Amino acid sequence: MDSVQTFPTASELITSQWFNTDTPISLADLRGKVVVIEAFQMLCPGCVSHGLPQAQQIHDLFPRDKVVVLGLHTVFEHHAAMTPVSLEAFIHEYRLSFPIGVDQAGVNTLPKTMEAYALRGTPSLIIIDQIGRLRVQHFGQVTDMQVAYQIAELVHNGDPYSSDKDQMAEDIVCDENGCLTD
Amino acid sequence: MDSVQTFPTASELITSQWFNTDTPISLADLRGKVVVIEAFQMLCPGCVSHGLPQAQQIHDLFPRDKVVVLGLHTVFEHHAAMTPVSLEAFIHEYRLSFPIGVDQAGVNTLPKTMEAYALRGTPSLIIIDQIGRLRVQHFGQVTDMQVAYQIAELVHNGDPYSSDKDQMAEDIVCDENGCLTD
Amino acid sequence: MDSVQTFPTASELITSQWFNTDTPISLADLRGKVVVIEAFQMLCPGCVSHGLPQAQQIHDLFPRDKVVVLGLHTVFEHHAAMTPVSLEAFIHEYRLSFPIGVDQAGVNTLPKTMEAYALRGTPSLIIIDQIGRLRVQHFGQVTDMQVAYQIAELVHNGDPYSSDKDQMAEDIVCDENGCLTD
Amino acid sequence: MDSVQTFPTASELITSQWFNTDTPISLADLRGKVVVIEAFQMLCPGCVSHGLPQAQQIHDLFPRDKVVVLGLHTVFEHHAAMTPVSLEAFIHEYRLSFPIGVDQAGVNTLPKTMEAYALRGTPSLIIIDQIGRLRVQHFGQVTDMQVAYQIAELVHNGDPYSSDKDQMAEDIVCDENGCLTD
C-alpha cells in the first residue's frame, strides 16, 4: 500500500534560533526517527491549553531514539509581542523541555517554515516518518489517544496515514482551539 | 528479551451474562488480537469519569480486527445496588458500545474473574497479548496517551511490558480515582 | 419591582423516602430559608458530572441557617434500575451529604413532584425563596458562579429572578448535559 | 461586628498604563462599588488557566454599577518578556474585556502596587468594599462559587471577611497554581 500512495518529502525547517538544545536541529539529522512537530504561537490559547501540554507528554512518553518532539514558534501575528525574549520566559514558565525552534521571519507576515508547509494556523501538529516524508499535518486539536496511536503506527512502519489537509476546520480566526492565518 | 521474560497466561473470563454482544465472549476465541479489559463497577466514580470513557475511546479508535475492548462488571460491594438490570440502564445512558460481561458472583464477596486476576479494585485495566498472555494489569488511572502507546506496541509485537502489579497505588477505599477491594 | 412581578408558590415535595436525614423534609418547614433543590437521576451523566457536585459545593459553602440544599431523585425512565437500594449505594459512593428525597412514583411514568413542577428532565435546578415562592427553575447546566450569585441575591432579598422556563434547552434526549422527559 | 473588626484602607493603584479603558482608573473613583482586582502576569500559567477566566466571568455576570473588575499586571520576573506591547496582544488573544492596568515598575524587582499590598505572587485576588477597605486578599486559586459568594455578600453589606493573609499557600515558586515572589 505504501508503494501505491506517495507522500511528499517534508520541507526542511528554516529557523533563526533554538531553545532547549545546544545546536540547531535539522530534519535531515533526524532520519531514522519519527519526528513530531508542534507549530505554535506563545499567545495562542489553544496552543497553551492543549497543543503544548500534549507535545510535552509525547516527549516524556516515547523513547527518544525512536520519536523526536520539536516545537516550532510560527509567529504570524503580533510579531512585536512574541519575540525570542518573551518566548524564552514562556518556555521557562510552562516547563517545556523539548527543543523549540523559532520559525524564520519571512518577507510577508508568514514565517518561512509555516509558509513552506502551508500551515493554516496554530496549533498545528506535523508528523514526519523515518525517511523524511510528511505523514500527518493537522490544524486544531487531536486527542491524546489519536496522536499516540498515529505515532506508534509510524514507529512500527504501520499503515500509512494520509495528510488530513482536506479535513481542515472551518475558517475561523483564533478561538479557544487555535489561531488561523486568515 | 521476550524469550527471557515470561508472562503468565491470562485467566479465562468467568461471566454470568453479557451486554452488547449476541454471544458470550471467551478469551480463547480472541487469540490473534490484543484484548483490552476494563474492569469496573457502575457506581465507582473513577470508572465513570475516567476508565469507561477511555475504554470507549479505545474501542472507537483501534481497528477491531487487531484490538478488542471488553468491559467486565466486577461488583465487590453494594451487590444489590448494581444488578444486571441497573447495569443495562447504565450502559444505555452512558452510551457504552463495547461488549460488557458480568463477572460471576463468587462464594465470598469477590466475583470469580476478579479473584482469579487478584484485582485490587476498580477501575482496573487489563491488557492481554495475541497469544493470551497477561501483559498489563493496572489499578487506577492511566493517561490516554500511555494506554494508546502500550496497546500499539503490543499490536506490533513490540517491547514486552511487565505487569505493574508492583507499582500499585496505596491502599485506599473508593476515592475519585477508584475503589479498592479492602 | 417585587410587588409588580408575582411568583408562583412552589409545590410541596411529594416523596416516598429520604436519605441523609432522620425525618422527612417538607418545604413548609423551611420558610425563612432559601431552598435549593437538585432534581436528578442517578444514571443521568450530566447529573453525575455537573449537577450533583455543584449541589454538594453549595451545601458545603453557604450557611445552613440561610440556605438549605436538597436532592430530589426524580426517576422518569429505567425505574427498575434506579431503586432506593441502588440510590443509597450511589449516595454513599459519590459522598453526597445533603438530604435527598425520592420523588413519589406517579400513575404514569413521571414521578409526582416532577410532574407538579413540570420539570423538563434532569438535572434541573430549582430555587425557592424564603416565603416559599418558586424563583428559579433551570434544566441543564448553570455555572457555579451564576448559581452562587443567584442564591446570594435571594438570601439578601435582592432582585427577583424570573423563572427561566422560557429559555429551555432544545428538545434532546439524555446527552452529556442531562436527560429530557421526552 | 463591623464596628469591632477594622479593615485597612486599600492602597491606591500605582500604574503606568491602562488597557480596555479610555482613562486611567483610581480606586478613589470607585467608592460605592465593590472592586475586584485580579493581579496577574501574562506568563503565569495559573493566571491564564484559572485567575483571568474567573475575572472575566465576574465581569460578565455582576451588575457593573455594583461590582467593578480590574486586572493588574504585576510583573515581578521576566520583565523584558512581559512588556506592554506583549500584554496588549495577550489581552486581545485571550478576549479579556475588563480594564487592565500595568503596575508601575519599582526601584527593585517588585512593581509598586504589588509592594504596597505585599502580594505574595500571582494570581492574587483582591476585593475592596464600597468604602475602600481591603476585605479579601488571596494568593492562588479560589473556586468560582466561593468568589461569587464573597462578592455578593459584600454587595449586600454582608458579613465582613477577614483578609486571609494568614492562610497563604506554602512557599513555592511558579507552579500550575501560580507564581510566588520568592
Q: Chain D: nearest CA to C130, how far in angstroms? A: 17
pLDDT at site B107: 85
The helix (H) or strand (E) run that includes residue C55 is helix C52-61
**What is the maximal distance between C-alpha atoms in chain B?**
47
Region A18-45: mean pLDDT is: 97
Q: Give phi and psi for C168, each to the nearest 5.
A: -65, 150
Chains that touch A (3 or more CB pairs under 8 A): B, D
Cα–Cα distance between A160 and B5 in angstroms, integer? 32
Whole-angstrom Cα distance, residue D131 to residue D151?
A: 14
Q: Residue D163: what pLDDT?
A: 37
CB-CB contact of A112 with A27 (8 Å)? no
Whether residue A174 has pLDDT greater than 70? no
Which one of D45, D77, D89 has the shortest CB-CB distance to A94?
Answer: D45
pLDDT in tens, B4-30: 468 999 999 999 999 999 999 999 999
CB contact under 8 A, A148 and B153: no
Distance from the Cα of A81 to chain B's closest Cα (Å) equals 33
Alpha-carbon gap, residue D153 to A42, rounded angstroms = 38
Give chain B's mean pLDDT. Answer: 88
Residues D77-90: pLDDT tens digits? 999 999 999 999 99
Residues in D closer than 8 angstroms to A88, CB to CB, are: 81
Q: What is the DSSP pairing of strand B34-40 with strand B67-73?
A: parallel
Nearest to B49 among C49, C85, C174 (CB): C49
Among candidates B61, B146, B156 on the partner chain, residue whose Cβ is nearest the Cβ of A156: B156
pLDDT at residue B166 above 50? no
* Angle, in degrees to the nearest 10, between helices A144-155 and B144-155: 30
Q: Minimal CA–CA distance to D158: which of D23, D1, D29, D48?
A: D1
Mean pLDDT of A48-72: 97
CA gap A45, A28 in Å, rounded: 31
Cross-chain residue pair A85–D80, CB shorter than 8 Å? yes
pLDDT in tens, A117-132: 999 999 999 999 999 9
Q: Average of pLDDT values for B134-140?
A: 95
pLDDT tens series, chain D, 182 aa: 444 468 999 999 999 999 999 999 999 999 999 999 999 999 999 999 999 999 999 999 999 999 999 999 999 999 999 999 999 999 999 999 999 999 999 988 899 999 999 999 999 999 999 999 999 999 999 999 999 999 999 998 644 433 343 333 333 345 555 666 66
Measured between beta carbons, the chain A residues lying within 8 angstroms of D179 are 93
Q: What does the pLDDT read at residue A6?
A: 82
Q: What is the mean pLDDT of residues C43-59?
A: 98
Residue to test with chain D: of A19, A41, A42, A180, most D Cβ within 10 A: A42
Contact B144, B55 (CB under 8 A): no
Contact A101, A30 (CB under 8 A): no
pLDDT at residue B175, rounded to an integer: 59
Nearest CA in chain D to A95: D175
How many percent of chain A have pLDDT more than 70?
83
- Distances in Å between the Cα of C79 and the Cα atoms of A21, A112, B82, C73, D13 are 62, 62, 14, 11, 60
The grid coordinates listed for A72 are 516550532
The alpha carbons of chain A give a radius of gyration, in whole angstroms, of 15
Residue B61 to residue A145, Cβ atoms within 8 A: yes
State which residue of chain C sits closest to B174, comparing Cα positions: C93
- Average the pLDDT over each of A164-173, B81-90, D51-60 and give the range with the smallest value: A164-173
CA distance C72 to C123: 10
Q: How far is C61 from chain D (nearest CA, A)?
A: 7
- Are the beta carbons of C149 and D61 separated by less than 8 Å? yes
Question: Is the pair C, A in contact (3+ CB pairs within 8 Å)?
Answer: no
CB contacts, 8 Å: B62 with chain A: 149
Task: Determine the residue type at B50.
Answer: H
Q: Dihedral sign, CA of B82, B88, B92, B98?
A: positive
Mean pLDDT of A129-138: 95
What is the 3-state secondary structure of chain B? CCCCCCCCECCCCCEEEEECCCCCCCHHHHCCCEEEEEEECCCCHHHHHHHHHHHHHHHHHCCCCCEEEEEEECCCCCHHHCCHHHHHHHHHHCCCCCCEEEECCCCCCCCHHHHHHCCCEECEEEEECCCCEEEEEEECCCCHHHHHHHHHHHHCCCCCCCCHHHHCCCCCCCCCCCEECC
A→B contacts (Cβ < 8 Å), by residue, are 54, 57-58, 61-62, 143-149, 151-153, 155-156, 158
C-alpha C153/C-alpha C160 separation (Å) is: 8
DSSP annotation string for D5-74: S--PBPPPP-EEEEES-SS---GGGGTTSEEEEEEE-TT-HHIIIIIHHHHHHHHHHS-TTTEEEEEEE-
Task: State the complex-level ipTM.
Answer: 0.84
> What does pTM read for this prediction?
0.87
Nearest Cα of chain B lies from the Cα of C130 at a distance, in angstroms, of 35
Per CB-CB distance under 8 Å, the chain C contacts of B48 are 48
Chain A positions touching B69 (Cβ under 8 A) are none
B83 contact residues in C (CB cutoff 8 A): 86
pLDDT at site D176: 58
Instruction: Please count the residue pairs, one from chain B and one from chain C, whose beta carbons lie less than 8 angstroms apart.
Output: 53
